[in-house]
Amino acid sequence: MKKYAKNPNTVASKLDDELVMIDIDLGKYFSMNSIASSIWEYIDTPKTKEEICDELLNEYAVDRATCTQEVTLFLEELIQMKLVNEVT
């Protein structure tokens, strides 16, 4: 099953409820809202989509189907921005 891991070439920090980060090589800044930053924290160690959803379901009032759909979209976006890598 596919796992998702952070691109190690980033430095991140909390800015109130948001997470802000910089891509070291590109020098580009990104920011994430509180749910997105929770996902970012979960993937400190590589995790599957299901494992990420398990964590989110513990923290937020959401059903599994919606959660999986949102997480999938978000991870695709992060992969496109090269902030997250797929690992096996």
| Near other proteins by CB under 8 A: residue from 2, 17, 24, 66 | 24
Q: Does 21 bind other proteins (CB under 8 A)?
A: yes
Pairing mode of beta strands 3-6, 10-15: unpaired
CA distances from 84 to 51, 73, 77 (A): 16, 13, 9
Q: At closest approach, how far in Å is the CB of 69 from other proteins? A: 29
- Regarding 29 and contact with other proteins (CB under 8 A), the answer is yes
Choose the stretch contacting other proteins; rule: CB under 8 A; options: 15-23, 32-40, 57-65, 72-80: 15-23
Contact 44, 53 (CB under 8 A): no
